Chain A
Amino acid sequence: MDKNYWITKEPINPGDCIDKVVRNEAGAVNTFMGTVREFTKGKRTLFLEYQAYVPMAEKKLEQIGDEIKEKWGNAEIAIVHRIGRLEITDIAVAIAVSTPHRADAFDASRYAIERIKEMVPIWKKEHWEDGEKWLGDQKENISYEAKIPSKEEMRDD
């Protein structure tokens, strides 16, 4: 895989992201992994199904990387998101960011995952014991009517 931003149907190895950002100028590599949680507000998830608009999703992940480079300057970023059926504890997304100093690597990783949750065309379908549903905006506090999500709409989720 020669891309730094990609969608995969295979299990994620976070080492693949780390390898892409390790470099001489970096004093910090921060990683974030999003994993499949079993219980949400007492409701048991059996498994998840992710779908993506793959070419656009990869472009939008790259855009997030570009935004990070603009905000934090010297940063290298790699992001992979998995699609298809994922079991409890599977890694859905892995992010690695390298920067000269640690504060920027932490902040930029956080920025990346929040931006993914607001604007990358990837969807999650929950399969519960008693049903299934494609989840939308999980906080239901943003109207998407005819508008492009802005950088200001960062959510804490």
Chain B
Amino acid sequence: MINVLFFAELQETSGHEKVTVDEDGLSVSELKSKLSTAYELSRLDQAMIAVNEEYSQEDTVVNSGDVVAFIPPVSGG
């Protein structure tokens, strides 16, 4: 089971802070297409991806137990 975190507008659009996806061993881009369909997140492509709290690439493979966070463009400071 992969844990997925949404923030800011992605959180509001999906209506979830956290969801779980019952998969093991799929790429971030595969996970992304599943999520954007399931939660109608048309702007998911603009988000950076963090796997276990580190920025990661689309081809990173995520496994059960991993935490994948979608990070929309940041605006701190």
Near B by CB (< 8 A), chain A positions 76-97 give 81, 92-93
Determine whether the beta carbon of A137 is less than 8 Å from that of B53: no
Residues of A within 8 A of B47 (CB): 144
When distances are taken between beta carbons in the complex, the residues of chain B under 8 Å from A157 are 77
Chain B interface residue bracket vs A: 20 to 34
B50 at the interface (CB under 8 A from A): yes
Interface residues on A, range: 35 or more
Decide if B76 touches A120 in the complex (CB within 8 Å): yes
Interface residues of A in 125-146 (CB under 8 A from B): 125, 134-138, 142, 144-146
26 intermolecular pairs with C-beta atoms under 8 Å apart: A50-B76, A52-B76, A53-B5, A53-B50, A53-B69, A56-B50, A56-B53, A117-B74, A117-B76, A117-B77, A119-B74, A121-B50, A122-B76, A125-B8, A134-B8, A134-B12, A135-B75, A136-B8, A136-B46, A136-B72, A136-B73, A138-B75, A146-B48, A146-B57, A147-B57, A148-B57
Chain A residues in the interface with B (C-beta under 8 A):
34, 50-53, 55-57, 59, 81, 92-93, 113, 116-125, 134-138, 142, 144-149, 157
Known contacts A56-B69, A92-B76, A120-B76; 15 additional CB pairs below 8 A are: A51-B11, A121-B76, A122-B75, A122-B76, A123-B76, A134-B12, A134-B72, A136-B46, A144-B47, A144-B48, A145-B45, A146-B29, A148-B48, A148-B56, A149-B48
